[in-house]
Amino acid sequence: MSKKIDRLSLELLSDVFGVLREFLTANDFLQLCHVSKIIYVETKPHKFYYLNRFLSLEFCFDEYFREIVRSILLRDKQLSLNLSGCRNVVDVSALGGVHTLNLSGCRNVVDVSALGRVHLTHSSQS
């Protein structure tokens, strides 16, 4: 009976993890996630994934890798990509659904209309 109550308490506190995420640094939140397996599972929807430039390029060009990454995410908008300075990136239509896309210095990208509500970071300087 107490395990059911504990589990119910954690489910009710799921929103609290979202609020905590707003106030903790990424590293502090990650440490909180690893306190117990139950907390790790409960905080998964609140995690945010940042791919470095190399993995962002892999996500951009490799459909298989993109599907693997998307299978890990519980919901859209948990992913940030960094494609800054990548002159070989032209088509970004497959990148819709990510939260943030850094296109600084990507001069060959012409059309970003397929990205919808993706937060774009770009500048005309490189």
pLDDT in tens, 95-109: 888 888 888 888 888
Please count the helices (runs of H) and the strands (runs of E) in the chain.
6, 4
- pLDDT above 90 for 62: yes
Alpha helices in the chain (DSSP H): 2-12, 14-23, 26-33, 37-43, 53-61, 63-72
Q: pLDDT band at 46, cuts 50/70/90?
A: low
Burial track 70-84 (b if 16+ CB lie within 10 A, e otherwise):
eeebeeeebbbbbbb
pLDDT in tens, 12-22: 566 677 777 77
Give the closest residue to 107 by CA, choosing from 80, 82, 125: 125
Taking the C-alpha atoms of residue 74 and residue 17, their distance in angstroms, rounded to an integer, is 15
**What residues have CB less than 8 Å from 57, skipping those under 6 apart?**
83, 86, 89
Average pLDDT over residues 82-104: 86
Q: What pLDDT sits at residue 1?
A: 47
